[in-house]
Structure 1
Amino acid sequence: MSSVIQAALFAAGALVGSGITTAVLHKKTAQRPVVDGTIVSPSAVTTVSPPVIGLGPNGSAQITNIASVASLSSSAVLKYGNPGPIADPIIRRAYVAAYDRRLRHPAWTAEHLTLASLGKSPLVSPPDEAGDRTKSSFMEDESIPKPFRARLADYFRSGYDRGHMVPAADAKFSQEAMNETFYLSNIAPQVGDGFNRHYWAYLEDWCRRLTGSFSDVYVFTVPLYLPHKDPDGKWRITHEVIGSPPTISVPTHFAKVVLTTKPTSPSTPNILELATGAFVLPNAPIPDETPLERFVMPVEAVERAAGLSLFSDAVKSTSKHICQSTKCEVVVRRFDDARKSQRADGRRAISAP
């Protein structure tokens, strides 16, 4: 992966603590090295390792220092270019993400939810014109190079919903923000009935409701490809691919990883109590009555499976589990029933909030 792009994705994510919500990534460029009298192209660009959420000196959460390491581009072997892989940076009003060119869906998305961002804070006036999803439409993301871009036609009659990784309901503070959640670069194929329109939507709603108990809620959504054990005793990863030609991979599972913060006491508003948790759901119908805690997994398991570093060891060791800080219980709401009128033309329902 291009480390400069990777660092931009992570550093542009929401920062935890003291009301800071964005990080500024500084990148350095070096003079082009000369190898055997030849200027290496591209120029040697400092590779920046992705920061993770860590603990500050006063106990508050913050982004750890960004460390620089040598770039592969400085190698004479790659004098004509680094082939990748590359994750495209996506920085929107309501979220940041990394787009996986090979899988044609996000590698991960990240959000920062608060009562104010959801338009529910009594201290902040709601927007004059909130987002209305009936005014939004799915669209291809032209910022993604065309050969690697997910297309609307790829989902047509695929049998899968265009599942939001960042829900539209998390971006109601403006129409522009909501529209950006409908880019296909924020979409992955999801089973519709019983998952995207039901249990997955309940989990998204649960994440929003956390803002009622915590001052800041950070949500990572991660598509996963997990192995299963075949009758011959061997472990394999198999998944469907949709599109014409088939290019969009269908994840076997999806993870929601949350980090919440709130002051430890009114007298120490800058000292934060942290809670973390990870939930891994199969991309399959899930009965409404299934307890959410059945899907609890260690954050480290998600990190290993996805190849990501979400939180520092200090955060992991000092945070409570989210189910110890609040009730891990979804509220069953049939979002799809409210949209039956929108399916009168025979099209499949759009994703739940």
Structure 2
Amino acid sequence: MTRNPNWVAEHITPASLAMNNADRKHSVFVEDASVPAMFRAKLADYVRSGYDRGHQVPAADAKWSQSAMDETFLLTNMCPQVGDGFNRDYWAHFEDFCRRLTNKYPSVRIVTGPLYLPKRDPTDGKWRVTYEVIGNPPNVAVPTHFYKVIYGEQTPDSGSSAPVALGAFVLPNAPIDNSKSLADFEVPVEAVERASGLEFVSRLPTARRKRLCGEVKCDILAREFNKHMKKLDFAPREKALPSSSGR
């Protein structure tokens, strides 16, 4: 048991992102009481762990109500993420890329989650899955990677025959230079399905699928993102926890 969510899903639109009915300053990280205590991630697990409590659904995507934003602070929406260079940098810019897609697509659906990928051992050439576990006792697995599967739709109607711009990305849970192109992390959606054990396009006919990075420039805008967040007066992302910080 990793005590992390296997996946989270969200639906953003120009209208949902334009709402401003919530303030991140009023939200606090909380354990999810719907999960039995022995199986849930706890606030104490992150204390002095060196990792951020990394949102899977970003708080900035849930501004339509304070309760919606508060729910993004449940630990069932968190995974341990490297802070400097990732959660507070490249990953945040990736989240902003997803929001900017609503400039082109009236409906954007995003599935996000952790991965635990194998790595070849240089000593014997064998592939092994190894990852850190944080907490005392050790409870919460630290993912090696994170994925996003993105659907850009011109219409949210599930019965539509319109094409869907589909993009799948896998990023290491490690510092990434902001000069790195997001397209470098693009993978076939089938690769994410194999690694996660989840199906993402089984009900989407092949004829309707279009490559997202063939429709838009898959890149981050770090400088523009920082200006935008200052304008919104969003609190900076937490630093790796020195003393504090689904399923």
Taking structure 2 as the reference length, what is the TM-score of the superposition?
Answer: 0.88
Question: What is the match of residue 68 of structure 2?
Answer: 177
What CA distance in whole angstroms lies between the structure 1 residues aligned with 2:130 and 2:12?
34
Residue 285 of structure 1: SS of its match in structure 2?
A: coil
Structure 2 residue identity aligned to 1:116: A
AA aligned to 1:249 is A
User: Whole-Å Cα distance in 1 between the matches of residues 220 and 201 of structure 2?
Assistant: 25
| TM-score with structure 1 setting the length | 0.62
Contact 2:49 / 2:242 at 8 angstroms: preserved in 1?
no
Whole-angstrom distance in 2 between the partners of 1:316 and 1:240: 38
Unaligned residue ranges in structure 1 (runs of 5+): 1-101, 120-125, 264-268
Gap change, CA 1:193 and 1:145, over 3 Å in 2 = same
CA drift at 1:325: 1.3
Question: Is contact 2:17-2:61 (8 Å) kept?
Answer: yes
Identity %: 53
1:239 corresponding residue in structure 2: 131
Distance 1:342 1:146, change over 3 A: closer
Distance in 1 (CA, whole Å) between partners of 2:3 and 2:36 is 11
Aligned Cα RMSD in Å?
Answer: 2.5
The answer to whether the 8 A contact 1:104-1:150 is kept is yes
- Whole-Å Cα distance in 2 between the matches of residues 117 and 173 of structure 1? 6
> 220, 223, 226: which is aligned to 2:117?
226
Give the aligned partner of residue 174 of structure 2. Answer: 284
- For residues 198-237 of structure 1, what are the structure 2 equivalents within 5 Å? 198-231=89-122, 232-237=124-129
Q: Report whether the alignment pairs 1:132 with 2:23.
A: yes
Residue 296 and residue 341 in structure 1: after superposition, are their counterparts in 2 closer, same or farther (change >3 A)? closer
Give the number of aligned pairs: 234
- Name the structure where helix makes up a greater proportion of residues: 2
Q: CA 1:163 to 1:316, structure 2 compared with 1: closer, same or farther past 3 Å? A: farther
- Paired AA for residue 180 in structure 2: T
Residue in structure 2 matching 1:311, options 197, 201, 209: 201
Q: Deviations over 1:219-251 (max 9, x none)?
A: 000200111111111111100000010010000
Q: Distance in 2 between matches of 1:342 and 1:313?
A: 38
In the TM superposition, residue 318 of structure 1 has moved relative to its aligned partner by: 2.9
**In 2, distance between residues paired with 1:324 and 1:349?**
43
Q: Shift of residue 260 of structure 1?
A: 1.1
Whole-angstrom CA distance in 1 between matches of 2:194 and 2:237: 43
Give the secondary structure class of the aligned counterpart of 2:195.
helix
**Which runs of no fewer than 5 residues in structure 2 stay unpaired?**
none
- Tell me which of the two structures has the higher relative contact order, counting C-alpha pairs closer than 8 angstroms and 6 or more residues apart: 2
For 1:157, the equivalent position in structure 2 comes to 48
In structure 2, give the amino acid aligned to 1:110: A
Instruction: Indicate the residue corresponding to 1:272 in structure 2.
Output: 162
Deviations 1:192-215 (A, max 9, x none): 000000000000000011111001
**CA distance in 2 between partners of 1:341 and 1:112 (Å):** 22
Match of 2:152 in 1: 260
- Greater share of strand residues, 1 or 2? 1
1:1-353 alignment, distance < 5 Å: 102-119=1-18, 126=19, 130-231=21-122, 232-262=124-154, 270-312=160-202, 314-332=204-222, 333-334=225-226, 339=235
Determine which structure has more spread, i.e. the larger CA radius of gyration: 1
